[in-house]
């Protein structure tokens, strides 16, 4: 398994992305947390298309954790990771507030993983394989490895992740408008930067961009049909339909 080839990272939160500052097993408040920036750096090195944080928070149902306060903490961790890894990786998260082991949305069940991946695939209009995915979690409980097994993807313990060498991410040069490939080659960041510099026009406008090689370009628009149907559309467009307006009687 090559981590650098992974496009989707599922990751646990407690003891994986964050740890308690107090050293206690369970945080004594939402302030009792330290971001594990060494783990953040490894995720950035993988340069995936998306990171999905999946966290069991049974303490909410049990009454130890205030859900409203926890939501703020969760959003902060998501936002921190998003800013750290950069805009070419999409970061999102889900947490499970219940302790019901039968609930599909509680790990080691996989509904949190599949629902986020499904939504992401719909947005991109692109299907990922299980081989594209990796699950990163701690080994303090066996829940994490079991979640990966149930989902059907590789599992990497977070402590192992920190020792793994990840190949430097490769880049491609694309036209900014439409993000079509410049020449299809996948190159190092230094090489890609060189190409972009060479193609900056006289006005100083950069027409090309550098994106990670795993970037999925939008599908090209279908060519427009001949002008006859367009004339018909112009006549129809006099009736303005609001997005949530009631259906008009024709």
For residues 18 and 169, what is the distance between their CA atoms, to the nearest angstrom? Answer: 25
Q: Pick from 49, 48, 55: which is nearest to 33 by CA?
A: 55
Q: Which of 3, 8, 9, 15 binds Mg ion (CB under 5 A)?
A: 15
Closest distance of CB 14 from Mg ion, Å: 4
Write the burial class of residue 12 (CB in 10 Å: 0-12 exposed, 13-18 middle, 19+ buried): buried
Size of the site for Mg ion (CB under 5 A): 4
| Stretch binding Mg ion (CB under 5 A), from 32-40, 132-140, 167-175, 212-220 | 132-140
156 interacts with Mg ion by CB under 5 A: no
For Mg ion, the closer of residues 160 and 180 by Cβ is 160
| Stretch binding Mg ion (CB under 5 A), from 9-17, 60-68, 97-105, 175-183 | 9-17
CB distance 192 to 173 below 8 Å: yes
Q: Which of 12, 17, 89, 153 binds Mg ion (CB under 5 A)?
A: 12
DSSP 22: S
For Mg ion, the closer of residues 15 and 65 by Cβ is 15
For residue 93, count other CB atoms closer than 10 A to its CB.
Answer: 19
For Mg ion, the closer of residues 7 and 42 by Cβ is 42
How large is the angle between the packed helices 143-151 and 111-124, nearest 10 degrees?
50
Closest distance of CB 138 from Mg ion, Å: 4
Residue with tokens 């049990």: 62
| Stretch binding Mg ion (CB under 5 A), from 40-48, 136-144, 166-174, 225-233 | 136-144
Closest distance of CB 148 from Mg ion, Å: 13
46 interacts with Mg ion by CB under 5 A: no
27 interacts with Mg ion by CB under 5 A: no
52 interacts with Mg ion by CB under 5 A: no
SS3 18: strand
33 interacts with Mg ion by CB under 5 A: no
138 interacts with Mg ion by CB under 5 A: yes
14 interacts with Mg ion by CB under 5 A: yes
Instruction: Find the angle CA(14)-CA(68)-CA(62) to the nearest 5 degrees.
Output: 65
For Mg ion, the closer of residues 3 and 12 by Cβ is 12
CB distance 114 to 91 below 8 Å: no
How many Å is the Cα radius of gyration of the chain? 23
Instruction: Find the angle CA(120)-CA(126)-CA(129) to the nearest 5 degrees.
Output: 90
Residues in touch with Mg ion (CB under 5 A): 12, 14-15, 138
């Amino acid at each position: 398994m090559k981590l650098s080839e992974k496009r989707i990272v599922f990751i646990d939160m407690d003891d994986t992305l964050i740890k308690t500052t107090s050293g206690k097993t369970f945080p004594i408040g939402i302030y009792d947390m330290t971001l594990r920036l060494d783990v953040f750096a490894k995720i950035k090195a993988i340069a995936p298309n998306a990171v999905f944080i999946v966290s069991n928070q049974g303490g909410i149902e049990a009454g130890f954790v205030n859900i409203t306060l926890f939501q703020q903490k969760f959003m902060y961790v998501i936002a921190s990771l998003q800013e750290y890894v950069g805009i070419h990786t999409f970061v999102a998260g889900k947490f499970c507030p219940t302790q019901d082991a039968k609930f599909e949305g509680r790990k080691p069940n996989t509904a949190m993983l599949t629902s986020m991946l499904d939504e992401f695939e719909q947005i991109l209009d692109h299907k990922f394989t299980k081989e594209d995915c990796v699950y990163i979690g701690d080994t303090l409980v066996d829940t994490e490895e079991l979640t990966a097994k149930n989902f059907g993807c590789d599992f990497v313990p977070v402590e192992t992740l920190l020792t793994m060498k990840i190949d430097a991410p490769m880049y491609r040069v694309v036209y900014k408008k439409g993000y079509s490939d410049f020449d299809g080659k996948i190159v190092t960041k230094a090489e890609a930067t060189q190409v972009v510099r060479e193609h900056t026009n006289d006005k100083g406008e950069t027409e090309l961009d550098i994106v990670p090689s795993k970037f999925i370009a939008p599908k090209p628009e279908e060519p427009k049909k001949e002008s006859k149907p367009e004339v018909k559309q112009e006549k129809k467009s006099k009736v303005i339909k609001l997005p949530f307006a009631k259906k008009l009687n024709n």
